[in-house]
Amino acid sequence: MIAQADIGLLDGFERALINGRLRMAYQPKVSLSDGRLRRVEALVRWDDPSLGAVPPSRFVPLAEKHGLIDELTQWGLRTTLRQWLSWREDGLDTCLAFNISALSLDQLDFPDLVERMCRALDVPTDRLVLELTEGATQPLVKLMDTLTRFRIKGIGLAIDDFGVGYSTLMQLRQLPFTELKIDRFFIEDAPSSKESALIVKSIIDLAHGLGLTVTAEGVETEDQLRLLRDLGCDVAQGYFVARPLEPKQLIPWLDEFEER
């Protein structure tokens, strides 16, 4: 069953996808030790003439449910890789973070497809990190197989929204992740709540013990940033550092940010 309200939305989304009316925004992730740009996360945007800006939390699940996620992923990745080339022409060689639906991981040839797309555009695979949530949709052995294929190709793997999703400590230990992103929920009140700060610290120590880079999501205040640095967190991402930017805003933002 598909809800009445979703039919119009799905229809509009499909048309936007086909007619090239989606776009990507890019949010900087910066190193807490030296303040340098570590990578940019690609986030899909849909501005509909009549509906306005529709958030991905509304249409990504619809795309997943109705067989459009592969098209969305391929369009998004191609757009993001092309953007990387354009930034590199302007002298910026950074890394990309790209969100992948857990559904895509069901296809055993998906890592090959991603590698082919990188090769076709001449983007080195080590410039790409895939961000994954909710890994629990399939048996661990199968997931392990797919994820290992990515790692062999030099592609990084981040576990997204850590602490609120289905990710378990078991998966964290067994799967070949390179980065862990602490969900914004824990970052929000970390400066005011001893308990949240303790949880954040424990996650950071745990992740470091497992050899993972740690990113804090949703950093909105200077207090949060300072605390995270004190707790040994590696990377910060959030409105305090930068909002998701238009492609052409990134280099001017970086010039200004590095002067601070």
Tokens of 67: 């067989």
To the nearest whole angstrom, how small is the minimum distance from the Cβ of residue 89 to ligand C2E? 23
Residue nearest to ligand C2E (CB): 238
Among 38, 103, 111, 131, binds Ca ion (CB under 5 A): 131
Q: Which helix (H) or strand (E) holds 93?
A: none
Long-range (24+ apart) CB contacts under 8 A made by 186-192 are: 187/216, 187/217, 187/218, 187/219, 187/224, 187/228, 187/238, 188/218, 188/220, 188/224, 190/224, 190/227, 190/228, 191/221, 191/223, 191/224, 191/227
Residues 84-123 as x/- pattern, contact with ligand C2E by CB under 6 A: ---------------x-x----------------------
User: Residue 156, interface with ligand C2E (CB under 6 A)?
Assistant: no
Q: Are 157 and 179 in contact (CB under 8 A)?
A: yes
Q: Which helix (H) or strand (E) holds 62?
A: helix 56-65
Among 10, 149, 160, 203, binds ligand C2E (CB under 6 A): 160
Backbone angles phi, psi at 49, to 5 degrees: -55, -35
User: Residue 180, interface with ligand C2E (CB under 6 A)?
Assistant: no
# chain residues binding ligand C2E, by CB under 6 A: 21
Residue 20 or 75: the one with the smaller Cβ distance to Ca ion is 75
Query: Per DSSP, what are the bridge partners of residue 31?
Result: 235
To the nearest whole angstrom, how small is the minimum distance from the Cβ of residue 187 to ligand C2E? 8
User: Residue 48, interface with ligand C2E (CB under 6 A)?
Assistant: no
Which residues of this protein are in contact with ligand C2E, per CB under 6 A? 27, 42-44, 55-57, 60, 76, 99, 101, 131, 160-161, 184, 218-220, 238-239, 244
